[in-house]
Amino acid sequence: MTNDGSFRQDQPSFSHLDDEGRPRMVDVSWKPETLRTASAEGWIILDRAVCEQLAADGYSKKGDVLKIAETAGIMAVKKTPELIPLCHGIRIERAEVQCLFMEERGRIRITCTVAARDVTGVEMEALTGVSVAALTVYDMCKGVSKNMVIEGIRLLKKTGGKSGTYIAEGMDGNADS
């Protein structure tokens, strides 16, 4: 934005803002449908008491922590356009969330993979799936200890669409596992 409040045309701009800086949904009506995929990950660093509880049986007082978090993540993927302003609704064709308890490292790795044949990407859906699964683990375990940290939520890989394939730094291209 320039000093007079106008937007310069020669710089990249946010696509969710019009020429006057007002919010808008991006026009995707002209785009052809293509297969789009995205994978994201996130981590929960656990307190020792939570680790011991999960190692004992995987349950909190509220139930099977990892399975309920995975279900919550899938449900969140489907609700993404209701949570993220200006995000397009997409017909999701595949959504998988995996929570891997790594007892020896005192953490849980959460991954989410989403696929759709549509006119816009599914990155936000994958990131939302990881975020809500992480929050669900926190909610289910906070009775044991509130000393947990959610960190490292990021896009690992996306395919399809105008911008093509993106692979996060440090990934070998097999971000779907």
27 among known catalytic residues: no
| Rg over CA atoms, the chain | 19
C-alpha torsion 113→115→121→123, nearest 10: -10
Structural tokens at position 46: 């656990």
One of 57, 139, 172, 176 is an active-site residue; which one? 139
Coil/strand/helix, residue 85: coil
Q: Is the dihedral of CA 3, 9, 13, 19 positive or negative?
A: positive
Q: Mind telling me the catalytic residues?
A: 139
